Structure 1
């Protein structure tokens, strides 16, 4: 009659190994659940911020500028809030924003960013003089 040695017992039959496998399965399941919950939370915050995005406030809007889109033949006029003595050195647009490059009397350049459809003032980028 044959006897079983420790070498003959497979990993599935060993109670210690079975206990370790159970713990590892539990660990993998819990960590996967935590990762999925985190992913869902991050994605929901991103979607929420995209849905709840507010348009730029009217506080920076230029005076005398219409808020509705322009009709054919209608002109858009406004004034740029720059200091006296500042000269405009260039303009460009990306279709949605208008970029006006200015140079102050002391030679410091700046870029003023406006909404191209309403001329709403979005901000200013200051640069150091060369």
Structure 2
């Protein structure tokens, strides 16, 4: 693995949001592609890579994890070209599926879900 010249450094918030936005769009696209192939399952499983990102954000800055979850829901429900094709994805549906994608050893799912129920609707812009 190559280290950046001069060692590691923090990612500026603007760049971090750009990276997260691209990752969210890609993850939502993979999820919706799967639904087109197999139908919509009972729980929303954003995938193992999304679980890794959510766990990292939760450990680094729980508020950023909430912004990520709100952005993921917005992509599924509003922004993706297939948004709404399979119905609205609610926050509880997403949270119920997080246990399927979080990395082994992640033991803060209850705390993450409690904060998400409290904070994500305000980041999303409406109740979900």
TM-score of the two chains, using structure 2 as the length reference: 0.20
Q: Which has the higher strand share?
A: 1
TM-score of the two chains, using structure 1 as the length reference: 0.20
